[in-house]
Amino acid sequence: MSPDGDARLTVGVTGENQRQYTVSGAVADTDHQIVLFDAGNVDVDANGFVTFDAVGPTGVNATRAAADITATQAEITVVNGASTTGSPFAIEDVQPVGTQITFTVQGNALSDVVPVVYFDENEDGFLNVDADGAPVDAELFGVGGAVEILPAEADSANFTANEVLRVNKDENFVVVENVGTVNYAAGDTFFVDGTAAGDQVDLDGFEERLARGDLLAATPYSRNFASSFELTDQVPGQVADVDASTADTEGAIDVTWAEKDNASEYNIYRATATSLANDGAADSDLVVADEARFSRVATVPGDADDLEFEDTGLANETSYVYWVTAVVDGVEGSFVTGDVGDPAFSAGAFAAFDVAATLAEGATVRPIITESELTDDVGLQGILDDGDEWTITFNQAMAPSTATAGVFIVTNGSNNATINCAETGGNATCELTDEVASITGAETLTVTVDDAPNFGSGDSAAAGSYPLTIVTINNQVRNTNNLVASIANSTDLVIN
Protein backbone atom coordinates (compact mmCIF):
# COMPACT_ATOMS: atom_id res chain seq x y z
CA MET A 1 0.00 0.00 0.00
CA SER A 2 1.23 3.48 -0.76
CA PRO A 3 2.12 5.94 0.50
CA ASP A 4 3.87 4.00 3.26
CA GLY A 5 5.57 6.91 5.00
CA ASP A 6 4.16 8.79 7.99
CA ALA A 7 2.26 12.05 7.50
CA ARG A 8 0.33 14.67 9.46
CA LEU A 9 -3.23 15.84 8.87
CA THR A 10 -4.81 19.02 10.24
CA VAL A 11 -8.48 18.85 11.16
CA GLY A 12 -10.77 21.16 9.21
CA VAL A 13 -8.10 22.60 6.90
CA THR A 14 -8.92 21.87 3.27
CA GLY A 15 -6.03 20.19 1.50
CA GLU A 16 -4.42 19.24 4.83
CA ASN A 17 -7.08 17.03 6.42
CA GLN A 18 -7.13 14.09 3.99
CA ARG A 19 -4.76 11.47 2.59
CA GLN A 20 -5.33 9.12 -0.33
CA TYR A 21 -3.97 5.55 -0.36
CA THR A 22 -3.52 3.06 -3.19
CA VAL A 23 -3.50 -0.71 -2.72
CA SER A 24 -1.74 -2.67 -5.46
CA GLY A 25 -1.84 -6.42 -5.98
CA ALA A 26 -5.32 -6.92 -4.50
CA VAL A 27 -7.07 -10.19 -5.34
CA ALA A 28 -9.32 -9.54 -8.37
CA ASP A 29 -13.05 -10.13 -8.02
CA THR A 30 -12.67 -10.73 -4.29
CA ASP A 31 -13.99 -8.86 -1.27
CA HIS A 32 -11.47 -6.97 0.86
CA GLN A 33 -11.83 -5.13 4.16
CA ILE A 34 -10.49 -1.64 4.94
CA VAL A 35 -10.05 -0.79 8.63
CA LEU A 36 -8.52 2.21 10.38
CA PHE A 37 -6.45 1.10 13.36
CA ASP A 38 -5.07 3.09 16.25
CA ALA A 39 -1.37 3.36 15.35
CA GLY A 40 -0.50 2.17 18.85
CA ASN A 41 -1.98 -1.22 17.99
CA VAL A 42 0.08 -1.79 14.84
CA ASP A 43 3.81 -2.50 15.10
CA VAL A 44 6.04 -2.28 12.04
CA ASP A 45 9.67 -3.16 12.71
CA ALA A 46 12.74 -1.93 10.84
CA ASN A 47 12.39 -4.78 8.33
CA GLY A 48 8.75 -4.01 7.60
CA PHE A 49 7.43 -6.99 9.60
CA VAL A 50 3.95 -6.17 10.92
CA THR A 51 2.26 -7.39 14.10
CA PHE A 52 -0.96 -6.33 15.80
CA ASP A 53 -1.20 -5.62 19.52
CA ALA A 54 -4.98 -5.37 19.51
CA VAL A 55 -6.60 -8.77 19.19
CA GLY A 56 -10.12 -10.03 19.20
CA PRO A 57 -12.01 -11.83 21.95
CA THR A 58 -10.49 -15.20 21.07
CA GLY A 59 -6.98 -13.83 21.34
CA VAL A 60 -6.19 -14.72 17.73
CA ASN A 61 -8.15 -12.19 15.67
CA ALA A 62 -7.46 -8.54 14.96
CA THR A 63 -10.96 -7.06 15.00
CA ARG A 64 -12.43 -3.75 14.00
CA ALA A 65 -13.51 -3.28 17.60
CA ALA A 66 -9.88 -3.64 18.59
CA ALA A 67 -8.96 -0.85 16.21
CA ASP A 68 -9.94 1.68 18.89
CA ILE A 69 -10.64 4.31 16.23
CA THR A 70 -14.06 5.89 15.81
CA ALA A 71 -15.52 8.06 13.08
CA THR A 72 -15.20 11.05 15.40
CA GLN A 73 -11.42 10.67 15.05
CA ALA A 74 -11.01 9.52 11.45
CA GLU A 75 -13.13 8.20 8.61
CA ILE A 76 -12.89 6.72 5.14
CA THR A 77 -14.58 9.22 2.83
CA VAL A 78 -13.93 7.80 -0.67
CA VAL A 79 -13.39 4.24 -1.96
CA ASN A 80 -12.48 3.62 -5.61
CA GLY A 81 -13.67 7.10 -6.50
CA ALA A 82 -17.09 6.81 -4.85
CA SER A 83 -18.03 8.74 -1.72
CA THR A 84 -18.99 6.72 1.34
CA THR A 85 -21.94 7.28 3.66
CA GLY A 86 -22.23 7.19 7.44
CA SER A 87 -18.68 8.37 8.26
CA PRO A 88 -17.24 4.83 8.41
CA PHE A 89 -13.90 3.94 9.98
CA ALA A 90 -14.20 0.47 8.42
CA ILE A 91 -15.49 -0.62 5.00
CA GLU A 92 -16.49 -4.21 4.26
CA ASP A 93 -16.58 -6.14 0.99
CA VAL A 94 -14.54 -3.78 -1.18
CA GLN A 95 -13.72 -5.24 -4.59
CA PRO A 96 -10.66 -3.93 -6.43
CA VAL A 97 -10.74 -2.26 -9.79
CA GLY A 98 -8.59 -4.80 -11.56
CA THR A 99 -6.06 -5.44 -8.80
CA GLN A 100 -6.11 -1.94 -7.31
CA ILE A 101 -8.05 -0.26 -4.49
CA THR A 102 -7.96 3.46 -3.75
CA PHE A 103 -9.42 5.16 -0.70
CA THR A 104 -9.21 8.44 1.19
CA VAL A 105 -8.78 8.92 4.95
CA GLN A 106 -10.00 12.11 6.59
CA GLY A 107 -8.83 13.27 10.01
CA ASN A 108 -11.57 14.53 12.34
CA ALA A 109 -9.94 14.75 15.79
CA LEU A 110 -6.68 14.19 17.64
CA SER A 111 -5.53 10.63 16.95
CA ASP A 112 -2.90 8.44 15.27
CA VAL A 113 -4.22 6.17 12.56
CA VAL A 114 -2.88 3.33 10.41
CA PRO A 115 -5.02 2.06 7.50
CA VAL A 116 -5.09 -1.71 7.03
CA VAL A 117 -6.52 -3.55 4.02
CA TYR A 118 -6.88 -7.33 4.13
CA PHE A 119 -8.37 -10.26 2.28
CA ASP A 120 -10.72 -12.14 4.62
CA GLU A 121 -9.98 -15.62 3.25
CA ASN A 122 -12.22 -17.50 5.68
CA GLU A 123 -14.93 -14.80 5.69
CA ASP A 124 -15.13 -14.66 9.46
CA GLY A 125 -14.98 -10.87 9.57
CA PHE A 126 -11.55 -10.86 11.21
CA LEU A 127 -7.94 -10.43 10.19
CA ASN A 128 -6.68 -13.70 11.60
CA VAL A 129 -3.34 -13.46 13.38
CA ASP A 130 -1.13 -15.96 15.15
CA ALA A 131 -0.17 -15.99 18.83
CA ASP A 132 2.51 -13.36 18.15
CA GLY A 133 0.06 -11.00 16.46
CA ALA A 134 1.32 -11.64 12.91
CA PRO A 135 -1.40 -12.12 10.25
CA VAL A 136 -1.68 -15.70 8.98
CA ASP A 137 -0.36 -16.44 5.49
CA ALA A 138 -3.82 -17.13 4.04
CA GLU A 139 -5.09 -13.62 4.75
CA LEU A 140 -3.14 -11.21 2.56
CA PHE A 141 -2.95 -7.71 3.95
CA GLY A 142 -1.36 -4.33 3.45
CA VAL A 143 -0.51 -1.49 5.84
CA GLY A 144 -0.35 2.14 4.78
CA GLY A 145 1.69 4.95 6.27
CA ALA A 146 0.49 6.23 9.65
CA VAL A 147 -1.11 9.64 9.96
CA GLU A 148 -0.94 11.91 12.98
CA ILE A 149 -4.16 13.89 13.14
CA LEU A 150 -3.93 17.26 14.92
CA PRO A 151 -6.53 19.94 15.56
CA ALA A 152 -6.01 23.28 13.85
CA GLU A 153 -3.87 25.89 15.53
CA ALA A 154 -5.60 27.81 18.32
CA ASP A 155 -6.83 31.32 17.64
CA SER A 156 -4.83 34.27 18.96
CA ALA A 157 -6.59 34.89 22.28
CA ASN A 158 -6.42 34.20 25.99
CA PHE A 159 -7.36 30.68 27.03
CA THR A 160 -7.97 29.29 30.50
CA ALA A 161 -6.24 26.24 31.97
CA ASN A 162 -7.09 23.06 30.05
CA GLU A 163 -5.47 19.65 29.92
CA VAL A 164 -2.45 19.07 27.70
CA LEU A 165 -3.32 16.11 25.43
CA ARG A 166 -0.16 15.88 23.31
CA VAL A 167 3.40 17.13 23.64
CA ASN A 168 6.00 17.53 20.87
CA LYS A 169 9.15 19.06 22.29
CA ASP A 170 11.10 18.54 19.07
CA GLU A 171 8.76 20.82 17.13
CA ASN A 172 7.69 22.98 20.10
CA PHE A 173 3.95 22.44 20.12
CA VAL A 174 1.27 20.97 22.34
CA VAL A 175 -2.38 20.07 21.84
CA VAL A 176 -4.62 21.54 24.53
CA GLU A 177 -8.13 20.22 25.16
CA ASN A 178 -10.89 22.56 23.96
CA VAL A 179 -8.23 24.90 22.55
CA GLY A 180 -6.35 23.23 19.69
CA THR A 181 -2.72 23.04 18.64
CA VAL A 182 -0.58 25.58 20.48
CA ASN A 183 2.93 26.52 19.35
CA TYR A 184 5.57 27.93 21.67
CA ALA A 185 9.06 29.35 21.20
CA ALA A 186 12.07 30.60 23.15
CA GLY A 187 10.84 34.19 22.90
CA ASP A 188 7.64 33.42 24.82
CA THR A 189 7.17 33.92 28.56
CA PHE A 190 6.73 30.83 30.73
CA PHE A 191 5.47 30.36 34.29
CA VAL A 192 5.17 27.09 36.22
CA ASP A 193 2.80 26.63 39.18
CA GLY A 194 2.20 30.35 39.67
CA THR A 195 2.63 33.72 38.03
CA ALA A 196 4.95 35.42 40.52
CA ALA A 197 8.44 36.46 39.44
CA GLY A 198 9.90 33.40 41.14
CA ASP A 199 7.68 31.10 39.09
CA GLN A 200 9.03 32.27 35.74
CA VAL A 201 11.26 29.85 33.82
CA ASP A 202 12.95 29.78 30.43
CA LEU A 203 12.07 27.43 27.57
CA ASP A 204 14.21 24.60 28.96
CA GLY A 205 12.65 24.96 32.40
CA PHE A 206 9.19 24.89 30.84
CA GLU A 207 9.89 21.72 28.85
CA GLU A 208 11.49 20.04 31.87
CA ARG A 209 8.07 20.17 33.55
CA LEU A 210 5.75 19.87 30.54
CA ALA A 211 3.91 16.55 30.09
CA ARG A 212 0.56 15.20 28.97
CA GLY A 213 -1.98 15.63 31.73
CA ASP A 214 -0.63 18.99 32.89
CA LEU A 215 -2.83 22.09 32.64
CA LEU A 216 -1.88 24.99 30.36
CA ALA A 217 -3.29 28.51 30.12
CA ALA A 218 -2.18 31.50 28.04
CA THR A 219 -2.62 35.23 28.64
CA PRO A 220 -2.40 35.76 25.76
CA TYR A 221 -1.70 33.19 23.07
CA SER A 222 -0.56 34.72 19.79
CA ARG A 223 0.03 33.04 16.46
CA ASN A 224 2.34 35.82 15.29
CA PHE A 225 3.82 37.45 18.39
CA ALA A 226 5.11 36.43 21.81
CA SER A 227 2.76 34.46 24.08
CA SER A 228 2.66 34.09 27.84
CA PHE A 229 2.02 30.57 29.18
CA GLU A 230 1.08 29.37 32.67
CA LEU A 231 1.73 25.65 33.29
CA THR A 232 0.21 23.76 36.20
CA ASP A 233 2.57 20.84 36.66
CA GLN A 234 0.62 17.81 37.85
CA VAL A 235 2.16 14.98 35.84
CA PRO A 236 3.75 12.48 36.24
CA GLY A 237 2.95 12.69 39.98
CA GLN A 238 3.61 9.71 42.20
CA VAL A 239 3.30 6.10 41.10
CA ALA A 240 0.66 4.30 43.17
CA ASP A 241 0.49 0.85 44.74
CA VAL A 242 4.20 0.13 44.80
CA ASP A 243 4.65 -3.17 46.61
CA ALA A 244 7.58 -5.42 47.44
CA SER A 245 7.44 -9.12 48.22
CA THR A 246 9.88 -11.98 48.35
CA ALA A 247 10.47 -13.51 44.93
CA ASP A 248 10.71 -17.18 44.02
CA THR A 249 14.38 -16.65 43.26
CA GLU A 250 16.57 -16.92 46.32
CA GLY A 251 17.93 -13.59 47.50
CA ALA A 252 15.47 -11.62 45.36
CA ILE A 253 12.51 -9.28 45.88
CA ASP A 254 9.63 -8.70 43.46
CA VAL A 255 8.59 -5.05 43.02
CA THR A 256 5.22 -4.19 41.44
CA TRP A 257 3.32 -0.95 40.90
CA ALA A 258 0.21 0.53 39.29
CA GLU A 259 0.16 1.73 35.69
CA LYS A 260 0.60 5.46 35.08
CA ASP A 261 -1.16 7.00 32.10
CA ASN A 262 1.16 7.82 29.16
CA ALA A 263 4.29 6.57 30.94
CA SER A 264 7.11 5.77 28.52
CA GLU A 265 9.13 4.07 31.23
CA TYR A 266 9.38 3.45 34.96
CA ASN A 267 12.52 3.88 37.06
CA ILE A 268 12.97 1.66 40.11
CA TYR A 269 15.08 3.00 42.99
CA ARG A 270 16.28 1.10 46.04
CA ALA A 271 17.70 1.93 49.44
CA THR A 272 18.37 -0.10 52.55
CA ALA A 273 16.20 0.68 55.54
CA THR A 274 19.25 1.33 57.68
CA SER A 275 20.52 3.96 55.23
CA LEU A 276 17.23 5.83 55.68
CA ALA A 277 17.24 5.70 59.46
CA ASN A 278 17.51 9.04 61.22
CA ASP A 279 20.75 8.81 63.24
CA GLY A 280 20.25 5.16 63.96
CA ALA A 281 16.59 5.45 64.94
CA ALA A 282 14.31 2.43 65.09
CA ASP A 283 12.50 1.27 61.96
CA SER A 284 9.31 3.05 63.01
CA ASP A 285 11.18 6.34 62.89
CA LEU A 286 12.58 5.90 59.40
CA VAL A 287 12.90 9.16 57.51
CA VAL A 288 12.58 9.00 53.74
CA ALA A 289 13.90 12.48 53.14
CA ASP A 290 17.09 12.03 51.22
CA GLU A 291 16.81 11.19 47.54
CA ALA A 292 20.57 10.71 47.37
CA ARG A 293 20.29 7.60 49.55
CA PHE A 294 18.34 5.80 46.80
CA SER A 295 20.04 4.23 43.79
CA ARG A 296 18.32 3.49 40.50
CA VAL A 297 18.48 -0.25 39.94
CA ALA A 298 16.30 -0.72 36.84
CA THR A 299 14.24 0.92 34.11
CA VAL A 300 11.12 -0.87 32.84
CA PRO A 301 9.44 0.13 29.52
CA GLY A 302 6.05 1.75 29.91
CA ASP A 303 4.47 -0.75 27.50
CA ALA A 304 5.82 -3.82 29.31
CA ASP A 305 3.32 -6.67 29.56
CA ASP A 306 3.83 -6.87 33.33
CA LEU A 307 4.70 -3.91 35.52
CA GLU A 308 7.13 -5.72 37.78
CA PHE A 309 10.83 -6.03 38.47
CA GLU A 310 12.73 -8.83 40.18
CA ASP A 311 15.62 -7.37 42.17
CA THR A 312 18.21 -10.12 42.59
CA GLY A 313 21.45 -10.66 44.46
CA LEU A 314 20.20 -9.11 47.69
CA ALA A 315 21.63 -9.70 51.13
CA ASN A 316 19.81 -11.84 53.66
CA GLU A 317 18.56 -10.22 56.85
CA THR A 318 18.50 -6.82 55.17
CA SER A 319 15.48 -4.56 54.87
CA TYR A 320 15.02 -2.77 51.53
CA VAL A 321 12.84 0.16 50.54
CA TYR A 322 11.69 0.76 46.95
CA TRP A 323 10.59 3.93 45.20
CA VAL A 324 9.21 3.89 41.63
CA THR A 325 8.86 6.88 39.33
CA ALA A 326 7.08 7.24 36.00
CA VAL A 327 8.50 9.14 33.01
CA VAL A 328 5.92 10.94 30.86
CA ASP A 329 7.06 12.97 27.84
CA GLY A 330 10.59 12.99 29.21
CA VAL A 331 9.48 14.28 32.63
CA GLU A 332 10.23 12.03 35.62
CA GLY A 333 8.08 12.03 38.73
CA SER A 334 9.69 13.94 41.57
CA PHE A 335 10.90 12.61 44.89
CA VAL A 336 8.62 13.17 47.87
CA THR A 337 10.22 13.92 51.19
CA GLY A 338 8.87 13.49 54.69
CA ASP A 339 8.58 11.21 57.68
CA VAL A 340 7.02 7.85 56.96
CA GLY A 341 5.12 8.13 60.22
CA ASP A 342 3.67 11.57 59.45
CA PRO A 343 -0.17 11.21 59.18
CA ALA A 344 -0.28 13.81 56.41
CA PHE A 345 2.31 11.83 54.54
CA SER A 346 0.39 8.59 55.00
CA ALA A 347 -2.56 10.12 53.19
CA GLY A 348 -0.44 11.58 50.42
CA ALA A 349 1.32 10.41 47.32
CA PHE A 350 4.28 8.79 49.03
CA ALA A 351 2.08 6.50 51.08
CA ALA A 352 0.20 5.61 47.92
CA PHE A 353 2.84 2.98 47.51
CA ASP A 354 2.49 2.01 51.15
CA VAL A 355 5.96 2.51 52.58
CA ALA A 356 5.18 0.73 55.81
CA ALA A 357 4.04 -2.42 54.04
CA THR A 358 6.97 -2.22 51.66
CA LEU A 359 9.38 -2.09 54.58
CA ALA A 360 7.75 -5.04 56.27
CA GLU A 361 7.62 -7.17 53.13
CA GLY A 362 10.92 -5.98 51.78
CA ALA A 363 12.53 -7.01 55.04
CA THR A 364 11.12 -10.51 54.73
CA VAL A 365 13.75 -12.92 53.43
CA ARG A 366 13.98 -16.67 53.55
CA PRO A 367 15.06 -18.05 56.92
CA ILE A 368 18.37 -19.84 57.30
CA ILE A 369 19.80 -22.45 59.63
CA THR A 370 22.40 -20.82 61.84
CA GLU A 371 23.35 -23.82 63.98
CA SER A 372 22.98 -27.61 63.79
CA GLU A 373 24.01 -29.77 66.75
CA LEU A 374 23.88 -33.35 68.07
CA THR A 375 22.68 -32.69 71.63
CA ASP A 376 22.10 -36.27 72.81
CA ASP A 377 23.92 -39.29 71.30
CA VAL A 378 21.94 -42.30 72.61
CA GLY A 379 23.04 -45.89 72.11
CA LEU A 380 26.16 -46.48 70.03
CA GLN A 381 28.34 -43.42 70.20
CA GLY A 382 28.91 -41.66 66.90
CA ILE A 383 26.14 -43.64 65.16
CA LEU A 384 22.68 -42.38 64.18
CA ASP A 385 20.25 -44.54 66.09
CA ASP A 386 16.91 -44.43 67.91
CA GLY A 387 16.67 -41.80 70.61
CA ASP A 388 19.35 -39.45 69.26
CA GLU A 389 18.44 -35.79 69.66
CA TRP A 390 19.38 -32.87 67.40
CA THR A 391 18.76 -29.15 67.66
CA ILE A 392 18.44 -27.09 64.48
CA THR A 393 18.38 -23.32 65.06
CA PHE A 394 16.72 -20.94 62.58
CA ASN A 395 17.23 -17.17 62.49
CA GLN A 396 13.48 -16.49 62.29
CA ALA A 397 10.22 -17.66 63.82
CA MET A 398 9.13 -20.79 61.99
CA ALA A 399 5.70 -22.02 60.95
CA PRO A 400 4.23 -24.97 62.94
CA SER A 401 4.51 -27.15 59.82
CA THR A 402 8.27 -27.22 60.37
CA ALA A 403 7.69 -29.48 63.39
CA THR A 404 4.68 -31.41 62.09
CA ALA A 405 5.59 -32.03 58.44
CA GLY A 406 9.20 -30.98 57.96
CA VAL A 407 11.56 -33.31 56.08
CA PHE A 408 15.38 -33.17 56.33
CA ILE A 409 17.63 -35.19 54.03
CA VAL A 410 21.09 -35.72 55.47
CA THR A 411 24.27 -37.26 54.07
CA ASN A 412 27.15 -39.10 55.66
CA GLY A 413 29.34 -38.21 52.71
CA SER A 414 28.49 -41.32 50.71
CA ASN A 415 24.75 -41.90 50.99
CA ASN A 416 21.64 -40.03 52.05
CA ALA A 417 18.90 -40.72 54.58
CA THR A 418 15.65 -38.98 55.45
CA ILE A 419 14.43 -37.64 58.79
CA ASN A 420 10.69 -37.00 58.60
CA CYS A 421 8.88 -34.96 61.27
CA ALA A 422 5.41 -35.93 60.02
CA GLU A 423 3.08 -36.80 62.88
CA THR A 424 1.78 -39.73 60.86
CA GLY A 425 4.26 -41.87 58.95
CA GLY A 426 7.32 -39.96 60.11
CA ASN A 427 10.40 -41.33 61.83
CA ALA A 428 11.11 -38.47 64.26
CA THR A 429 9.35 -36.37 66.87
CA CYS A 430 10.00 -32.66 66.37
CA GLU A 431 9.22 -29.61 68.47
CA LEU A 432 9.77 -25.90 68.01
CA THR A 433 11.10 -24.38 71.22
CA ASP A 434 11.24 -20.84 72.57
CA GLU A 435 13.19 -18.19 70.70
CA VAL A 436 16.96 -18.17 71.04
CA ALA A 437 18.01 -15.49 73.51
CA SER A 438 20.96 -14.32 71.41
CA ILE A 439 18.96 -13.90 68.18
CA THR A 440 15.73 -11.91 68.28
CA GLY A 441 12.85 -13.81 66.69
CA ALA A 442 14.82 -17.02 66.19
CA GLU A 443 13.54 -20.50 67.04
CA THR A 444 15.08 -23.91 67.55
CA LEU A 445 13.69 -27.18 66.27
CA THR A 446 14.38 -30.15 68.54
CA VAL A 447 14.45 -33.43 66.60
CA THR A 448 14.23 -36.75 68.44
CA VAL A 449 14.90 -39.75 66.19
CA ASP A 450 12.27 -42.46 66.73
CA ASP A 451 13.24 -44.89 63.99
CA ALA A 452 16.76 -44.32 62.71
CA PRO A 453 16.96 -44.71 58.93
CA ASN A 454 19.67 -46.59 57.10
CA PHE A 455 21.95 -44.90 54.56
CA GLY A 456 22.07 -46.42 51.10
CA SER A 457 19.84 -49.25 49.90
CA GLY A 458 19.76 -52.98 49.41
CA ASP A 459 22.79 -54.96 50.58
CA SER A 460 24.75 -51.72 51.04
CA ALA A 461 22.25 -50.17 53.46
CA ALA A 462 23.87 -49.38 56.80
CA ALA A 463 23.57 -47.17 59.82
CA GLY A 464 24.99 -43.71 59.44
CA SER A 465 27.81 -42.29 61.46
CA TYR A 466 28.28 -38.68 62.53
CA PRO A 467 29.00 -36.05 61.36
CA LEU A 468 25.90 -35.76 59.17
CA THR A 469 25.17 -32.80 56.87
CA ILE A 470 21.72 -31.46 56.00
CA VAL A 471 21.55 -31.25 52.19
CA THR A 472 17.83 -30.85 51.41
CA ILE A 473 14.58 -29.88 53.11
CA ASN A 474 10.96 -29.91 51.98
CA ASN A 475 8.67 -26.90 51.58
CA GLN A 476 7.14 -27.39 55.03
CA VAL A 477 10.30 -26.08 56.67
CA ARG A 478 9.24 -22.46 56.40
CA ASN A 479 8.82 -19.29 58.41
CA THR A 480 5.59 -17.66 59.55
CA ASN A 481 5.44 -15.78 56.23
CA ASN A 482 5.48 -19.13 54.38
CA LEU A 483 9.00 -18.66 53.01
CA VAL A 484 10.96 -21.91 52.79
CA ALA A 485 14.30 -21.97 54.56
CA SER A 486 17.37 -21.47 52.38
CA ILE A 487 19.92 -24.27 52.54
CA ALA A 488 22.32 -22.39 50.24
CA ASN A 489 22.58 -19.43 52.61
CA SER A 490 22.56 -21.37 55.88
CA THR A 491 25.71 -21.07 57.94
CA ASP A 492 25.82 -24.38 59.86
CA LEU A 493 24.34 -27.57 58.44
CA VAL A 494 26.66 -30.13 60.07
CA ILE A 495 25.21 -32.26 62.87
CA ASN A 496 28.02 -33.42 65.11
- Tell me the per-residue pLDDT of 176-228, one tens digit each, with 9 for 90 and over: 999 999 999 999 999 999 999 899 999 999 999 999 999 999 999 999 999 99
Q: What is the pLDDT of residues 125-174, one digit of tens each?
A: 778 888 788 888 888 889 999 999 999 999 999 999 999 999 999 999 99
At residue 418, the 3 state secondary structure works out as: strand
Question: What is each CA distance from 462 to 175, 231, 451, 454, in whole angstroms?
Answer: 82, 82, 14, 5
Q: Phi then psi for 111, rounded to 5 degrees?
A: -175, 170
Task: Write down the pLDDT at residue 316.
Answer: 63
Q: Phi then psi for 22, rounded to 5 degrees?
A: -125, 125
Q: What is the pLDDT of residues 339-395, one digit of tens each?
A: 443 333 232 222 222 233 333 333 346 788 989 999 999 989 999 999 999 999 988
Greatest mean pLDDT range, 29-38, 84-93, 211-220: 211-220
Under the banding of pLDDT at 50, 70 and 90, the label for residue 105 is: very high
Cα angle 96, 102, 103; round to 5: 120
Task: Write down the pLDDT at residue 17.
Answer: 97
The CA distance from 264 to 298, in Å, is 14
Q: What is the pLDDT of residues 418-464, one digit of tens each?
A: 999 999 999 999 999 865 444 445 689 999 999 999 888 777 678 88
The CA distance from 33 to 54, in Å, is 17
| Beta carbons of 445 and 495 less than 8 angstroms apart | no
Task: Write down the pLDDT at residue 149.
Answer: 98
The CA distance from 491 to 442, in Å, is 14
Secondary structure letter of residue 26 according to DSSP: P
